Structure 1
Amino acid sequence: MYLEAAEPGMPVHQRNAHVDEGLLVRVGIPHSGGRLAYHAFNEGYAGMVSASAFWDPKTGRFRIPEATDLTEIDFALDSAGFTAMRHFQLKGRQQGIANVYPWSLEQFVELAAFSGAAWYAQPDLCCEPAIAPDQEAIDYRINATATLLEATLRVVYAWQDELSKTMSAAAVQNAVRIPVGVAQGWTVDD
């Protein structure tokens, strides 16, 4: 939905992903460029790229390449929850989101805004057996994922609110989009 208002203001009725054309299978691309992105571009594949593909641990910042085949395809941005949890298990507390991710919510939302991704998934805490060995751990990660969605929406709202002082609602909506929520768990009951 595109808003017509030219006056500054907050967007309403925002979409987090366009699914009008039905199910779309995306291929996982673990890098921000390179051979897999090139192959996806040549084959016309839609992609899903992990935020960790853009992370530079030396600088503590995301890096978006100036030129990559990735920006020429329909790609979505994944939060890298599984990778973050594995690194947390190996390294301990991280500096970012929930002390699990190496980056902050603000950095992640900024990456989502500037990466060229068609949509992005909220940060989540995964529930794979290698990460969550029992139901108590799964329940914790489900609740934490819901909390991370709320926190991400607060960051998006604050940024949109600031931009809305000088930009139209349509421009704000296109500049900083809301995330796609993640339903986390390991079984249907979860």
Structure 2
Amino acid sequence: MNRHEFFQKLNGVVKQQDDGTKISWAYWLAKSTHRTQLRINGERYFEHCRRVALNLVHYGPTDADEIITALLHDCLEDGFLPQDFIKALFGDFIAKGVEVLSKYRPRFNGAGIITEKIRISDDDYYRDISCAPSWIRRIKLADRLDNIRDLGVRTPERRQQYIQETKTYLMPLARITDERFLKALEERCEIHAGKV
């Protein structure tokens, strides 16, 4: 899929010209942040971010803020992108959403430069997500749906661990957010559980 095809799929989501402009910025920023990364299956990492956004369209309704946050959801985790930069471009609402979706919290030096990232525990991460507004939970569920696609290239042990994590944290989240995500997660876990 190319950029033009992606934006065609957003018909109905982009309500104002400003929405389209900001989604374009997020698209470019995510692509730039992940430009050197590859997924475990060898594809460009950005394809994942784009699919997460499209999952939200599929399981809509969605809006521009949700699409922007979905495109940027791994930028803090995988790049040394200052959160203030996201805030300056997209506002505090989206910057906070991206922060909640990141498993890493940045540490800054006196000049405001990120010097390291500290991983938070799974329990803390999923507690924060479960307490977040439904639009943030939807992004996490769309993210997990896409990540499950790649389980076939993982070791049997990693597949089992990922399926268990999905059952422990994501399925309860789906129950309180959107039953359609729950059904899709159950189906995909069942498919991959047979391969363990």
**Same topology, TM > 0.5:** no
The TM-score range, normalised by the shorter chain, is 0.3 to 0.5
TM-score by length of 1: 0.32
TM-score by length of 2: 0.32
**Which structure has more helix as a fraction of its residues?**
2
